[in-house]
Amino acid sequence: MSKPNVPTWLIPLALIAAAVAVHSGTLGHGFLVDDAHFLKGHWAAGYPRLTDVFFRTASQHYAPLYLAVNYWLFEHYGQAPQVFHVINITLFALNIALFYILVRAWAQSTALAALSALLMTVHPVHAFIVGYKTGNFVFYTTLLQQVCLLLLWRSMRGGKAGRAGLIASYVVYAVAILSVEWAMLFPLYALMMLRVCGGKSWRDSLRVCVPYIALAAVQAALYLLVAGPRAGLLERFLAADILLTEYVGLWGYFLAKYGLTVLTVHGTGYMWDLAAVPDPAWLWAGWGTLAAVGGAVLFGGLRTQRWGAFGGVWFLTGWVLVLPAMLAHPALGFVFEPHWVYFASFGFFLLIARGLLALGRRLPPAVNIIGLAAIALFCVAVTLQTQRVMRTEEAFCEYWLSYSPRNRLAMSRLAQIYTEQGRPRAALAIHHRLLTAGDGQEYRELNNIAVLRHRLGDLEEAEAQLRESLAREPGFAAAWNNLGLVLQDRGRTAEAIDAFRAALRRNPNMVHARINLAYLYLREDRNDEAAAAIAPLSRAVVSPEYDREALIITAIIAVRQQDAARLSRIYAALQERHPGAAARIRLADQFAVFGLPGEARRAWPSR
């Protein structure tokens, strides 16, 4: 009996539908973790012009496309997290479909391609990445790299169309590499594909990959020039107080943990960490076992079917940059974020699929069907459980800490959430835990504790904590800004102005320090200096909150200077950029605070 003829388009369409079905549960979720930097405009303040994303960085990354895309999205859809989820799910599903197309083209095996893509669709390691709004860069960078591989693969046919495809792949890669540093590894993947899948010689493969290598070198140079000093690789490594051999062992520990992710009902969090290196004997035993098993798998793949080996090498290649990424991370090295190896995980699932198919040849068809269904259902169950705890950031951080109790980022975010909820004492308890962590970040926690003490009305203690923070790290702009607020409330205006100025000298892009300084100048009737303080602000790059405050400050100055035309323009701008009653109420309140009752009545929104 002949096998059923399945249309070639049906399988990728089914994979897309499966990806959407598995991850549609995240559509009602809010923002998480680093999303707050975009939502509140913290990072955007560092980019007065859009082109600045190419020449400076607000984080330890050099990723212009990542920053530009998310700034645009948050400017237009910052109050609609559902839009971000739709984008992530769509990009994830397209990646799955393209992965299937690539594997089928390489291996000429529909079964291997379909099983690899299915495993990737349901595996719980991707649950967080899909639900992490600003994690969209993971998906579009990977999608662009897959498009590069597909164009490169088709260029092997030769002729004019082949040359055009090759040139197009170089152009697409130039865009992909602007998204995140991980794309620097793409030349290795292209080289492997040409040699293993395409059968080209190493020399010919390398010749084709030279432009990719050149682009990757440019990206590496830009990273070192722009983001490198901010990342502080060497400083972080020295602060970690760990031997390089132990560090490599820790790298292996995370590699092994990634491979076993599916076995834990907790799924995976945003970041794995260790407060200290595990016992060296245990660590190296685990690393040695991992190396032995990995070597056996790769050797077996080479002896039986190249696709197992190809998948294994593909996966391991993605870990090349994990070691420096662990160093560059603000948590001082003892961390690993699973989305770092998203593109590399394609090889992981190809390797598993190859092994399952080899095993399936020895089993009855009914056993294969039942086994595959059980694996898929188990993975989906773990994925859905992870999605449930991601509904709110508070629940997610508490869940995250349940299996990584000393995770700095999770504790910091939970403390921020408690602060925003009006629970300063609960937040203080977490910050005191972080203060005793001994990870070189004590100056940050002293600042955080001082902010909460300020809110509780303990101004003397808040000032003492801030001065201790600055004694440990004199360049910490946030502490200077918070010191200015405390001194202002203690009636020491001149000192407060000096503190705000000190914050801006250390970080000219600190928008809230500019706003605070401008308001203080207004209280002193120093209108021109208040206007100068907020002059560098640009509506296109600051959060709505700061843009609103800048307009209010400008309105107060206009009233004092009796500039009616300017005041009318400000009212129009406020209505256009901040429609609704909230902004007008805030304006009216500030007019009243500054002794302008007539303008306060005019500004109050009419019924």
pLDDT value of position 150: 93
Given this model, what pLDDT does residue 282 score?
A: 46
Average pLDDT value for residue range 151-180: 86
Average pLDDT of the chain to the nearest whole number: 81
Q: Has residue 290 got a pLDDT over 70?
A: no
pLDDT of residue 234: 56
Please state, in angstroms and rounded to a whole number, the distance separating the CA atoms of residues 86 and 366: 37
What percent of the chain lies above the pLDDT cut of 70? Answer: 80
Q: Which two tokens stand for residue 266?
A: 């907790």
Half-sphere exposure of 267 (CA within 13 A, CB side): 26
41 within 8 A of 542, measured Cβ to Cβ: yes
* Whether the predicted pLDDT of 529 surpasses 50: yes
406-506 and 508-607 in the same fold? yes
Contact 410, 404 (CB under 8 A): yes
Lowest mean pLDDT among 130-134, 230-234, 426-430: 230-234
Selected residue with higher pLDDT from 306 and 607: 306
Closest CA to 446 of 398, 475, 478, 421: 478
Give the integer Cα–Cα distance in Å for 138 and 182.
9
Q: How far is CA 427 from CA 35, 37, 123, 369, 423, in A?
A: 20, 19, 34, 51, 6
Share of the chain above pLDDT 90, in %: 30
| Span 392-419, average pLDDT | 80
Confidence of residue 487 (pLDDT cuts 50, 70, 90): very high
3-state helix, strand, coil in the chain (%, to 5): 75, 0, 25
* pTM, rounded to two decimals: 0.77
The rounded radius of gyration (Å) of the Cα atoms in the chain is 27
User: Coil, helix or strand for 557?
Assistant: helix
Distance in angstroms (rounded) separating the CA atoms of residues 486 and 509: 21
CATH no., domain 406-506: 1.25.40.10
pLDDT band (50, 70, 90) for residue 297:
low
Q: How confident is the model at residue 146 (pLDDT cuts 50, 70, 90)?
A: very high
**pLDDT over 90 (residue 384):** no
- Rounded to whole angstroms, the Cα distance separating 323 from 334 reads 10
DSSP H helical segments within 305-364, as ranges?
306-317, 322-328, 345-360
Structure tokens at 589: 């309140």
Residue whose token pair is 């001994």: 438
Closest by CA position to 555, among listed 580, 582, 583: 583
Residue 540's pLDDT band, with cuts at 50, 70 and 90, is: very low
- Enumerate the domain spans of the chain: 10-394, 406-506, 508-607
Pairing of strands 272-273, 335-336: antiparallel
**pLDDT at 558 (0 to 100):** 92
| pLDDT at residue number 307 | 73
Contact partners, residue 271, CB within 8 Å, separation at least 6: 331, 335, 336, 337, 404, 407, 409, 410
For the segment 180-185, the average pLDDT, to the nearest whole number, is 87
User: Does CATH place domain 508-607 in 1.10.3430?
Assistant: no
pLDDT of residue 239: 57
Better-predicted residue by pLDDT, 320 or 262: 320
pLDDT of res. 195: 87
Name which of 237, 229, 135, 225 is nearest 182 in CA terms. 135
Q: Read off the pLDDT of residues 256-288 as tens digits, 9 standing for 90 and up.
A: 777 666 555 454 555 565 554 455 554 555 556
Residue 102: what pLDDT?
93
What DSSP line would sit under 377-435, residue for residue?
A: HHHHHHHHHHHHHTSSHHHHHHHHHHHSTT-HHHHHHHHHHHHHTT-HHHHHHHHHHHH
Q: Is the pLDDT of residue 331 over 80?
A: no
* pLDDT above 50 (res 422): yes
User: Helix 365-389 to helix 345-360 angle, to the nearest 10 degrees?
Assistant: 150
- Supply the pLDDT for residue 512: 86
Query: Based on the number of CB atoms within 10 Å of its own CB, is 88 exposed (0-12), middle (13-18) or buried (19 or more)?
Result: buried
Cβ 518 vs Cβ 535: under 8 Å: no
Residue 238 has pLDDT above 70, yes or no: no
pLDDT of res. 356: 85
pLDDT given for residue 2 in this prediction: 46
